[in-house]
Chain A
Amino acid sequence: MTNSPTAPSPSRLLEGVVDGISNHTVHGWAWLGDGDSGPVRVEIRSGQALLGSGEAGLFRADLAAAGKRDGHCAFAITLDPPPPPDTLLSVVAVDGEQVQPLLGSPLSSGPPATELPQAAVDILPLPISTAQLEGSLDQCGPQRIRGWVRWRDGSARPVELSLHEGERELLRFPTSQWRADIAELYQGDGCCGFDLAVPDSLRDSHLHRLELRLAEGGARLLGSPFSVRIANGPASASAARLPEPLRRDPVGAPVTLSVTVNFYNMRREAERTLTSLRSDYQHGAGDLDYEVLCIDNGSQPPLDADWVASFGPQFRLVRPSRLLASPCAALNEAALQARGKYLAVMIDGAHLLTPGVFEQARLAWREDPAAVVALRHWFIGGDQRWLALAGYTRELENQLFERIRWPGNGYDLFRIGAPIGENPEPWFDGLSESNCLMLPTALFDRIGGFDEAFDQAGGGFANLDLWRRASEAATGPLVSLIGEASFHQFHDGTTTNVDDAEKDSRVRSYANAYRTLRGNDFAGVHRSRLDFRGGMHSEFATGVRQRTLLPMRLGVTDRIRPGQMALHFDDGAQSYLQSVYAECGLQRDVTWLGQPTGVAPADLVGLQQIIHQLKPDAIAMVGAETGLVAFIDSALLATENPAARILHVDPAAVAIARPSTARVTTLHGSPDNPHILATARHWAGSAEAVLVLHAADPDAAFTSATLQAWGALVSYRSWLVCLGTLFGQPWLGYSTHQYLQVIREFISGDPSFAIDRSWNRQLISACPSGFLRKIGGTVTATNYDATLDDLVPAWHAPLEHAQ
């Protein structure tokens, strides 16, 4: 696609398109078809009048993917003052004396703005691209304004920005917040983000035209102002459906704490739960005035009031006036009978508590009477969702309790439990739900308690919703207890004791019901909003990475639980394990026929699989250890590939006598030496399947340029394997080697390669992100170069001469 010039033929080809106009800003892209020229100047005219101009130098990912000036050729030119409606606009690129209209020009400035409501608000993210800076405005409203900006020269100093409406400055802030995604992308400092509350003055449901500027000097960061419209309050669907505040009639003598706990067909579990609420179990509860309201929400057989009362004078049975599948109404009804200044709400009576819960809650309220205290939840036994399907029973669970002689030491529950979320860090993550939520009764009333619109069996997301609304309405801190937990006993719950598919289906249904009621998706409370208090009374409570499931060795099944790699071995665990491997130098123990290979066992297996699968004719090994050369030789022998050849490029200047076979050709010299490269190309010759292994090592000149040179030898669907990427950043954050960054640079310049992480699935590799597969460059019937068929003409002369 090229554009037709209006006057004399251009010396350079120009490509460009006008994408459209919105908010009086003309958008599009233009470039001169080569990578060397500067940005094209674009002008917008009406007749002879110049209405606006600017450079086509903004970044757009789609243009980068299309190979147009690395994506830096977009423009957004604001027409100020706006032209009258339906003005015919000519959009031209100016290159010296050349003036060329862009495709899509001329275009109309459009009807009056009122006829185009869709154009009123800009769609974010908006790219930020100037000569010195790059970044993105990711979000502006409804609550936060987020994004990132960094210096193109890699400088780590924060950028001071300001947000303006006209000439009025609304915000001034540095871009200094850590962004893991930016750190990963640029393999360096990710402290270039911003995340702030949207100014109240913007929350008025009116249209605002805003600008992001450099605080010093006022230079604009976006091509044009952007428009936002932020509602003044919660979404209408949410506002309409929030429960009304509860109205409470006077009840008996007040107490400090009322516990409301809901039971349904769980007599066995209730006994332990109620025991854990007794004053002789809860530490320091002897002087606590509290009551426990035990709701029996229609159990068959029903719980006995005398049995409930036998746990202590604080305990009494409550039978709801209506029996519904959802416990929400029953919990609200019980809460209205409560006398406590504070409420502890337990929607699932199968949860029993550790002994310090009341004590820690009282300490929190002593520090701030308005505190909302949340308890995290664990499973007794472990992953009950799977264990139940594998044969775990209440009787087996009883054995676990007997082994720790519960309730002797309540903290021994951690010895027989596991966090429900299986998060490797069980205490400091955000919180979506608490099965013992303790809050001021006045707050519970103010937010209307449980929302009875959650009418699914078990309540669906009602408990999550209560925590969320309480967290938003609280005037005190949100306290997450550490070292204290509720433990879920095995019973016929709605989501805990069903198979994964059914649980998945139910949870999705609950999530949709929540969204219908609230108008947005459920989001837990972020860890940054939580205060933490407590202590570790059990070494088994500290973490989960160092322990097995069911450490008490309860024989349940001969099956093995299907693991979930992302859950059980997250990025943090993987990085940690990899760095331990690298720092302990375990690859040095991995030898083949007595020679070091320099890689991990899983890498050897992966390379063997590649050789078996690819059946390479030629393998170039750049800077590889001799043991690895021997291993590849053995693999070729084992896969009955006798014709395959190996080129071993040894950066060592001096040849060292090494065991070799006939198939191995050794070259000594730097891999970026043009002579070595030319020899390698000649050596590869007409081999159809070429595999290249390139050591990530400074001696092996591991740069994007050498990867490009050696990658050119790799045949379609083969691999360029970068050996030893582990021994640099990001796996060793202190390393001066930037191997992953080199790989990313190489791939961005040659998109026919992709990082093939399927070869890193065996957890420990010396080549993480180092297996690069060539998946581009396919020859098809349409791009077939028939001139390559005729190989003979160039050879006629020697042939004829020979004859």
Chain B
Amino acid sequence: MNRFWQRYIHPLIEIAQPRRLMEIGADRGWNTSNILTYCRATGAQADIIDPAPQPGLHEVLAQFGPAEYRYLPLKSVAAIPQLETPDVVLIDGDHNWATVYTELNLLHARAEQTGLPPPIIISHDVAWPYARRDMYYNPDDLEASQKHPYAYRGMLPGVPELIEDGMNGVLANALHEGGPRNGVLTAIEDYIASVETYFTFRKLPFFNGLGILVPAARMTPALQALIDGFFSADYLLEACMALEADGMHLRAILTRTETCLSRRTEALARARGVIEAQRVRIDELERD
């Protein structure tokens, strides 16, 4: 999600001018740093929610103070009902239908209780692989009825089933892609369909996808123009350049990995030679 900050999220936040933000899923705190920098500059405040962040988050938080943030080491579904309604929410938490759908509805309910419009939602992972497939960071946290059959196996684009050496095989991924109640994008669409609020919903379909959900009550001409602009030729050209840079970066990492693998393979070959030489030598000594 951090990769969307500069070109998309920051301009959007600059125009929306939220006084209260919420980040669900902070991980290492990369995006948290951006959010809190905005808060420090504008006097806004943020609720940072993550029950199991990477240690790096604490380093990020240490650079800011209570004037900018409140950190809640809780699950989002436990925290949201107790918090003030935010103006903007960045969602990058547990990537499954049940969690995202519940988060959106809790945010909606909280807004209704306080007489405010629902917040602007900026959600990561509305494109492959988790747009139409659930992932569970901790499957035991969810009721059986809230999750699909899953396995610790990876994914390939265009392949509905999981495969052993696919992407993100270290996570509990739903066995099948698509179908009802499956995936982040499906959760957002189901939420939109089930509430009587008019939303503008646009998706940037790269870097795992960014969904921008703006309720009519929070839409302004400037915000509309900005979001429309994200899909202009110039913006899309910039996106192409970013994607190309990302692809080149990955290729460089691949090259580096292949170099390491080659070195390790050569080393193992040498080790095999050493072992074979020793075996021969032992045979000779035993014959003697």
Do A and B originate from a single complex?
yes
Supposing A512-B194, A564-B145, A717-B169 touch, asked if A124 and B82 sit within 8 A by C-beta, the answer is yes
Cα-based distance from A791 to B263 in the complex (angstroms): 11
B225 to chain A, nearest CB (A): 30
Considering residues A19, A511, A567, A755, which has the most beta carbons from chain B within 10 angstroms of its beta carbon? A19
Q: Could you tell me if B267 and A790 are in contact, using CB atoms closer than 8 angstroms? A: yes
Asked whether any CB of chain A lies closer than 8 Å to the CB of B67, the reply is yes
Cα-based distance from A780 to B109 in the complex (angstroms): 43
Considering residues B62, B149, B195, which has the most beta carbons from chain A within 10 angstroms of its beta carbon? B62
Contacts of B260 in A (CB 8 A): 781, 784, 786
Q: Could you tell me if A570 and B144 are in contact, using CB atoms closer than 8 angstroms? A: yes
Contacts of A519 in B (CB 8 A): 109, 112-113
Supposing A754-B172, A789-B267 touch, asked if A103 and B274 sit within 8 A by C-beta, the answer is no
Which residue from B55, B84, B193, B274 sits with its C-beta under 8 Å from A795?
B274
A420 to chain B, nearest CB (A): 16
Q: Could you tell me if A799 and B274 are in contact, using CB atoms closer than 8 angstroms? A: yes
Q: Could you tell me if A781 and B152 are in contact, using CB atoms closer than 8 angstroms? A: no
Interface residue count on the A side (C-beta < 8 Å):
76
Complex interface bits, B197-228 against A, C-beta within 8 A gives 1, otherwise 0: 00000000000000000000000000000000
Q: Could you tell me if A118 and B152 are in contact, using CB atoms closer than 8 angstroms? A: no
Identify the closest chain B residue to A759 (Cβ).
Answer: B151
B133 to chain A, nearest CB (A): 15
Contacts of B263 in A (CB 8 A): 786, 789
Identify the closest chain B residue to A18 (Cβ).
Answer: B62
Which residue from A17, A67, A511, A515 sits with its C-beta under 8 Å from B62?
A17
Q: Could you tell me if A123 and B82 are in contact, using CB atoms closer than 8 angstroms? A: yes
Asked whether any CB of chain B lies closer than 8 Å to the CB of A125, the reply is yes
A438 to chain B, nearest CB (A): 31
Q: Could you tell me if B190 and A508 are in contact, using CB atoms closer than 8 angstroms? A: yes
Asked whether any CB of chain A lies closer than 8 Å to the CB of B53, the reply is yes
8 A Cβ contacts from A11-30 to B = 17-22, 29
Supposing A505-B194, A786-B260, A788-B267 touch, asked if A61 and B52 sit within 8 A by C-beta, the answer is yes
Q: Could you tell me if B151 and A788 are in contact, using CB atoms closer than 8 angstroms? A: no
Cα-based distance from A776 to B50 in the complex (angstroms): 21
Supposing A125-B74, A519-B113 touch, asked if A686 and B144 sit within 8 A by C-beta, the answer is no
| Among A104-112, A270-278, A590-598, the stretch in contact with B | A104-112
Interface of A: prevailing SS: mixed
Q: Could you tell me if A121 and B82 are in contact, using CB atoms closer than 8 angstroms? A: yes
Which residue from B109, B180, B256, B277 sits with its C-beta under 8 Å from A504?
B180
Supposing A66-B54, A66-B55, A512-B105 touch, asked if A22 and B70 sit within 8 A by C-beta, the answer is yes
Asked whether any CB of chain A lies closer than 8 Å to the CB of B61, the reply is yes
Which residue from A22, A564, A791 sits with its C-beta under 8 Å from B66?
A22
Cα-based distance from A597 to B140 in the complex (angstroms): 30
Supposing A61-B51, A62-B52 touch, asked if A511 and B194 sit within 8 A by C-beta, the answer is yes
Contacts of B70 in A (CB 8 A): 20, 22, 118-119, 123
Asked whether any CB of chain B lies closer than 8 Å to the CB of A160, the reply is no
Q: Could you tell me if A237 and B271 are in contact, using CB atoms closer than 8 angstroms? A: no
Contacts of B54 in A (CB 8 A): 66
Contacts of A425 in B (CB 8 A): none
Contacts of A778 in B (CB 8 A): 170
Contacts of B180 in A (CB 8 A): 500-501, 504
Cα-based distance from A413 to B144 in the complex (angstroms): 31
Supposing A123-B74, A567-B145, A789-B263 touch, asked if A516 and B274 sit within 8 A by C-beta, the answer is no
Identify the closest chain A residue to B163 (Cβ).
Answer: A613
Identify the closest chain B residue to A754 (Cβ).
Answer: B152
Complex interface bits, A783-803 against B, C-beta within 8 A gives 1, otherwise 0: 010101111100100110010
Q: Could you tell me if A103 and B82 are in contact, using CB atoms closer than 8 angstroms? A: no
Asked whether any CB of chain A lies closer than 8 Å to the CB of B164, the reply is yes
Cα-based distance from A294 to B83 in the complex (angstroms): 48
Cα-based distance from A68 to B55 in the complex (angstroms): 9
- What's the count of A-B pairs with C-beta under 8 Å? 175
Contacts of B66 in A (CB 8 A): 19-22, 107, 110, 119
Asked whether any CB of chain A lies closer than 8 Å to the CB of B264, the reply is yes
8 A Cβ contacts from A187-243 to B = 235-237
Considering residues A519, A613, A717, which has the most beta carbons from chain B within 10 angstroms of its beta carbon? A717
Cα-based distance from A197 to B51 in the complex (angstroms): 28
Q: Could you tell me if B109 and A521 are in contact, using CB atoms closer than 8 angstroms? A: yes
Supposing A508-B190, A757-B139, A791-B267 touch, asked if A62 and B152 sit within 8 A by C-beta, the answer is no
Asked whether any CB of chain A lies closer than 8 Å to the CB of B72, the reply is yes
Supposing A17-B58, A60-B73, A500-B180 touch, asked if A515 and B112 sit within 8 A by C-beta, the answer is yes
Contacts of A761 in B (CB 8 A): 149
8 A Cβ contacts from A470-507 to B = 500-501, 504-505
Contacts of A790 in B (CB 8 A): 267
Q: Could you tell me if A62 and B112 are in contact, using CB atoms closer than 8 angstroms? A: no
Contacts of A613 in B (CB 8 A): 164
Identify the closest chain B residue to A121 (Cβ).
Answer: B82
Asked whether any CB of chain A lies closer than 8 Å to the CB of B59, the reply is yes
Cα-based distance from A236 to B115 in the complex (angstroms): 10
Asked whether any CB of chain A lies closer than 8 Å to the CB of B2, the reply is no
Q: Could you tell me if B67 and A110 are in contact, using CB atoms closer than 8 angstroms? A: yes
Contacts of B105 in A (CB 8 A): 512, 515, 521
Cα-based distance from A19 to B66 in the complex (angstroms): 7
Asked whether any CB of chain A lies closer than 8 Å to the CB of B65, the reply is yes
Asked whether any CB of chain B lies closer than 8 Å to the CB of A546, the reply is no
Supposing A66-B55, A717-B169 touch, asked if A516 and B112 sit within 8 A by C-beta, the answer is yes
Supposing A104-B62, A505-B193 touch, asked if A799 and B267 sit within 8 A by C-beta, the answer is no
Considering residues B45, B74, B143, which has the most beta carbons from chain A within 10 angstroms of its beta carbon? B74
Cα-based distance from A427 to B147 in the complex (angstroms): 26
Identify the closest chain A residue to B284 (Cβ).
Answer: A802
Contacts of A508 in B (CB 8 A): 190, 193-194
Asked whether any CB of chain B lies closer than 8 Å to the CB of A1, the reply is yes
Q: Could you tell me if A756 and B151 are in contact, using CB atoms closer than 8 angstroms? A: yes
A18 to chain B, nearest CB (A): 7
Contacts of A513 in B (CB 8 A): 196
B7 to chain A, nearest CB (A): 26
Q: Could you tell me if A505 and B267 are in contact, using CB atoms closer than 8 angstroms? A: no
Identify the closest chain B residue to A777 (Cβ).
Answer: B170
Q: Could you tell me if A802 and B143 are in contact, using CB atoms closer than 8 angstroms? A: no
Q: Could you tell me if A19 and B152 are in contact, using CB atoms closer than 8 angstroms? A: no
Identify the closest chain A residue to B153 (Cβ).
Answer: A758
Complex interface bits, B57-99 against A, C-beta within 8 A gives 1, otherwise 0: 0110111011101111110001100111000000000000000
Asked whether any CB of chain B lies closer than 8 Å to the CB of A131, the reply is no
Identify the closest chain B residue to A236 (Cβ).
Answer: B113
8 A Cβ contacts from A525-572 to B = 564-567, 570-571
Asked whether any CB of chain A lies closer than 8 Å to the CB of B278, the reply is yes
Cα-based distance from A754 to B105 in the complex (angstroms): 31
A685 to chain B, nearest CB (A): 10
Contacts of B83 in A (CB 8 A): 123
A91 to chain B, nearest CB (A): 11
B93 to chain A, nearest CB (A): 13
Asked whether any CB of chain B lies closer than 8 Å to the CB of A705, the reply is no
Q: Could you tell me if A565 and B144 are in contact, using CB atoms closer than 8 angstroms? A: yes
Which residue from B73, B194, B278 sits with its C-beta under 8 Å from A62?
B73
Contacts of A795 in B (CB 8 A): 271, 274, 278
Q: Could you tell me if A505 and B67 are in contact, using CB atoms closer than 8 angstroms? A: no
- Besides A125-B74, A565-B144, A795-B274, 16 more A-B contacts (Cβ < 8 Å) are A21-B66, A22-B70, A65-B51, A67-B55, A108-B67, A124-B82, A235-B113, A237-B112, A515-B108, A521-B105, A566-B143, A717-B169, A754-B172, A773-B152, A775-B169, A791-B271
Supply 10 A–B pairs (Cβ within 8 Å), ascending by A: A65-B52, A104-B61, A515-B109, A520-B113, A754-B172, A756-B152, A775-B169, A775-B171, A791-B270, A799-B278
Binding site for A on B (CB under 8 A): 45, 50-55, 58-59, 61-63, 65-67, 69-74, 78-79, 82-84, 105, 108-109, 112-113, 139-140, 143-145, 149-152, 164, 169-172, 175, 180-181, 190, 193-196, 253, 256-257, 260, 263-264, 266-268, 270-271, 274, 277-278, 281
Per CB-CB distance, the 6 closest pairs between chain A and chain B, nearest first, are A20-B66, A566-B144, A103-B62, A508-B194, A758-B151, A62-B73
